[in-house]
Chains A and B, each alone.
Chain A
Amino acid sequence: MPEREVQPQASLTIRLQVNGEEREGAVEGRTTLADFLRDQLGLTGTHLGCEHGVCGACTVLLDSQPARSCLVLAASADGSRVETVEGLAENGQLSRLQQAMWDSHSFQCGFCTPGFLIQAAALLAENPSPTEAEVRHALSGNLCRCTGYESIVRGVMAAAGGPEPAGAEPR
């Protein structure tokens, strides 16, 4: 069967800073930021769990604010600063948050992980010593089907260095 070449209806070039690096790419009008990050930049750490903005797995920082990259058009992110899960560790060293999540057995299958990490990083940047209730509230727009959330909340609290949440059991 002959394969017809695809002529994108309209292609535009975007430039943005991703994890501190200047990146450039050609996108269609309908290309989402998530697809651009994953397919064109190879940053597959950002996951797509629902593509309708509910599950939060695709959360990235867009100009320092958490955003659902499945609902953001790549074209509209032109000129922005984007931070993804790949940018959390520095020089191969896990961030304090990542380390605390690891120590706390926070995650299981790992699919929701990037969204929780980004959302939690945004919380801690704004509020370095959140209460457990504040952590739960901040994470309530991210879905995890494996853990029941307690281990995730505990990880964020440990990263904040605040008091252990009510349910914490020292190990």
Chain B
Amino acid sequence: MKARVPAERYTGASVRRVEDERLLTGRGSFVADAQLPGMLHAAFCRSPLPHARILAVNTEAARLAPGVVAVFDGAQMAQMASPVADPGDSPRSGGPVSFGILAVDKARLVGDPVALVVAQSRALAEDACELIQVEYQELAPVVTVEQALDPSLPVIFEELGGNRLFGPETKVFGDVDGAFARADRVVRASIRQHRHQNVPMEGRAILANFDAGSGQLLVRAATQGVNTTRQTLAEQLRMPLDRVRVVAEDVGGSFGLKFGASREEVACCAASRELGRPVRWIEDRWENLTVSGQAREESFEVEAAVTSAGRILALKVEMVIDSGAYPGFAPLVVDIVREMIPGPYRLEALSFTGSGVVTNKASYVAYRGPWAAETFVRERMIDLVAQELGISAPEVRLRNLAVRDEPPLRMVTGPSLAGITARESLLRAVEILDLTGFREEQLRLREEGRYLGIGFATYIEPAPGPRQEGGEENTEQVRVELDQDGSLLVHTAQMPHGQGHRTTLAQVAADEFGVRLEQVQVMVGDTQRTPTGFGTGGSRFAAMAGGAALHGARRLRGKVLEAAAQILDLAPAELDISGGELVGPGVPGGRLPLAELIGRIDLAARSGQLPPGTDADLTATADFDGGESGWSGGTHCCVVEVDAATGLVRILRYLVVEDCGDMINPAVVDGQIRGGVAQGVGAVLLERSAYDPEGQYLSATLMDYLLPTALDVPHIEIEHLSPVRLDPDVNFRGVGEGGMIAAPPTICNAIADALSPFGPRVLEQHLPPTRILELIGALPD
């Protein structure tokens, strides 16, 4: 069946979001808004120490406190839920790690949950937490990577035999030695990213309701995917999958944090099962900042083999990731950084060594563009190379970027670069910014003691990335069905938490099927009807779910036309569905509303009037892997002014030239880009998850962990490039992560350029005023 092209398409238009009317009138439904009869409230007694043996937990007084229904310590919880065993990708050295849902013998970070109190209100539960007496034996905290590798300090997990979690493991691509032998010089740098974190405005949240009669656990979750949450809960609670139902409604942001089920969320479900009553936990901001998870703390030793002409032939990279206290996501990050570090550049060879450690800090979680270090390190390194060679930084990029019609159009690590427009994006950014004019103005203003700088970063983002030969099949499933009233129900495992999927998926399905936008309902967030798929993340939505919706709607349309043709005794080719009606010259009256048609198909099927083989089941399912679309990407450019007296950075101009394929809804796309850039502005200028040398967390309120405000984020200019369309049908690509991937190196490169008269090498990502004053020598380093 061929694609239909309606005269006016929703796809490509900035239609208003169907989500908004509810949210704008205060009628959203977040977990904290849900009440159930008999509902109890959870609070956690948490470790005040980063590293300690737990010798005794006395919950007696807490149990007797007003309004308290139950208190569970780590040992009791261990009877109620399985420990987290071998989390994430298995650590590759030492033994497999496992740990309790609540801390049992040991606390491994400040905020580690030691006991759970369930009471009639959150306030009463918190009161009772104060009455729990925990006897700790303090252990020396392991706060830095250097400390983690110091054999004289205590180990965090005995089974690891040390604090190294995995590696070092080296993989080599291409002829590294040959490339370094040919190089005119080697540029070296130690580059690091600092720890920062997701901070969604809604923290983690869960409402667990175990029904003893049916043996079913019904969970309201704040999650990026109900299927993964259900899977985790069933495993940890040792329940059959079909006894766990997870439902999600509005989710107040996540940025990678809310996948699966956290230890606290498992504990609340276990408590609900034990008590036979609903238990709700709403994470407070202290908990969110201290223990929900943190990201990005990674350090790199880099050597680049370069020619005098500015070609970067090869890189040697050693990466160390600080996984924090409880292992999970970090090993996967190292794998993706290794694969992605060549980016859109013609690197001939790469040697990459990755390793990870555990420390007594919050556990490493996914945060928007989790592998973003590859872009940060590469793009900072390119500027350092440019500085050493005396060639302009955009020029070094141009001399190294892959050219689309020159083979091999492939990263040295394997993935195809088909369809990328990285080069075009850089050329366009340089043109828009008038680089020559800027350099003149920069020199002139320096004479007045004003320090302006310009920075560029070019990136690609797998969205979802090219098909990998021999790779695992990785698809998104969408089920499309016609309701009796003629509305089109589009079921997806995507779980929107700000992205507007209820609107954008409806746009795609409405166009393909031929109904009005308001006739489409996108159904999300209920494991009883949600199709398979892990949820929203990894920029999977546009190409994968969008493509599955397109193909599902197309398939269902074919079925409906087939059945309609039988009923009306016409050929399917004479019929069309448009505006929610069956239309065609042979249709009585020229048009037939879908609701009526569905009734007639149903009647015909039940009375045996359809010929054998006619499919009258008005649903269709499609699985889609993203097709031939692969990369989003582009170039960001930023102009800053640094005040050498105060160290304050003002962003004068921020430009994004990008390509995310065909846009489903440009306003939604721009919102994703701007939101990502804002997080990058925060990462460089404001945000840091800071620990003191004793492992105490210093950024536990929003007065200490600074998010960017409306005064910090500048106007962001966006230009969309025409994409290279490689797929016959689906050329949408994900766009969720690029802003946050490209903004930190762009801003850092601009600041480094502004500071160039002072001569520092900028080798880090966090550049608050104090650090800038250190870099220019106004404060002692």
Q: Which residues of A contact B (CB under 8 A)?
A: 1, 3-4, 6-7, 30, 38, 43-52, 54-55, 57, 84-86, 88-89, 94, 98, 101-103, 105, 107-114, 117, 135-137, 139-153, 165-167, 171
Contacts and interface: CB of A to CB of B under 8 A. Distances in A.
Contacts of A136: 710-711
A4 B120 CA distance: 10
B668 to A, nearest CB: 7
A110 B200 contact: no
Interface string B7-20: 00000001011011
B449 to A, nearest CB: 25
A150 B674 contact: yes
Contact of B24 (A43, A98, A148, A165): A98
Contacts of A89: 25
B483 interface: no
Contact of A52 (B69, B670, B702): B702
Interface string B677-715: 111000000000000000000000111000101110101
A143 B707 contact: yes
Contact of B702 (A6, A46, A54, A150): A54
Contacts of A46: 26
A105 B667 contact: yes
Interface in B354-389: none
Nearest to A136: B710
Interface in B474-525: 497-500
Nearest to B16: A102
B285 A51 contact: yes
A9 to B, nearest CB: 9
A3 B688 CA distance: 43
Interface stretch (B28-36, B180-188, B412-420): B28-36
For the residues of A in contact with B, the DSSP-based class is loop
A111 B713 CA distance: 19
Interface of B: 14, 16-17, 19-28, 30, 32-33, 63-64, 66-70, 120-121, 123-124, 199-202, 250-253, 255, 282, 284-285, 497-500, 666-668, 670-671, 674-679, 701-703, 707, 709-711, 713, 715-717
B25 A141 contact: no
A111 B33 CA distance: 11
A108 B24 CA distance: 11
Contact of A105 (B17, B715, B716): B17
Given A54-B701, A140-B711, A152-B710, A145 B25 contact: no
Contact of A1 (B70, B202, B713): B70
Contacts of B711: 136-137, 140
A6 B120 contact: yes
B237 to A, nearest CB: 21
A49 B677 CA distance: 22
Nearest to B200: A145
B709 A102 contact: no
A113 to B, nearest CB: 5
B701 A171 contact: no
A166 B715 contact: yes
Contacts of B285: 49-52, 55
Contacts of A112: 201
Nearest to B119: A6
24 contacts: A6-B121, A44-B32, A47-B201, A48-B282, A49-B285, A50-B285, A52-B285, A54-B703, A57-B201, A84-B26, A85-B26, A86-B25, A94-B21, A108-B498, A108-B499, A108-B675, A109-B201, A111-B253, A136-B711, A147-B671, A149-B710, A150-B674, A150-B713, A152-B710
Given A45-B27, A52-B703, A102-B20, 5 more contacts: A4-B67, A47-B201, A55-B702, A57-B201, A88-B24
B114 to A, nearest CB: 20
Contact of A86 (B20, B26, B199, B713): B26
Given A51-B285, A150-B716, A107 B678 contact: no
A152 B710 CA distance: 9
Question: Which of B33, B201, B703 counts the most chain A CB atoms within 10 A?
Answer: B201
B701 A50 contact: yes
Contact of A44 (B26, B63, B284): B26
Given A109-B253, A110-B19, A152-B710, A147 B675 contact: yes
A109 B284 CA distance: 18
A111 B16 CA distance: 18
A152 B713 CA distance: 12
